[in-house]
Amino acid sequence: MLTAYGAGGGASPAGIAERMVRIRTVVGPDGSGRFAEPYLRLLDELERRGWLRSDVAAYAQEHG
């Protein structure tokens, strides 16, 4: 991508990436909620270890 950026004729890195990437499938949660509890435990542990800011953890817990 850096080479493409250098030869991009003024295009931004985001613009170059858009031309390089095609989204064929979007995978999302299955809606069963089976991973909700383990996900919340992960967030708590990441926050406890200082690897995730508390405001980010709170947002992730709210928006799952």
Split at pLDDT 50, 70, 90, the class of 59 is: very high
**Residue 27: what pLDDT?**
85
Q: Can you give the pLDDT at residue 51?
A: 97
Structure tokens at 62: 């709210």
- pLDDT of 5 reads 56
Q: How many helices (H) and strands (E) does the chain have?
A: 4, 0
Domain-by-domain residue ranges, the chain? 2-63
Q: What is the pLDDT of residue 19?
A: 85
**DSSP assigned state of 32:** S
Whole-number percent of the chain with pLDDT over 90: 45
pTM above 0.75, yes or no: no
Report residue 24: phi and psi, to 5°: -100, -35
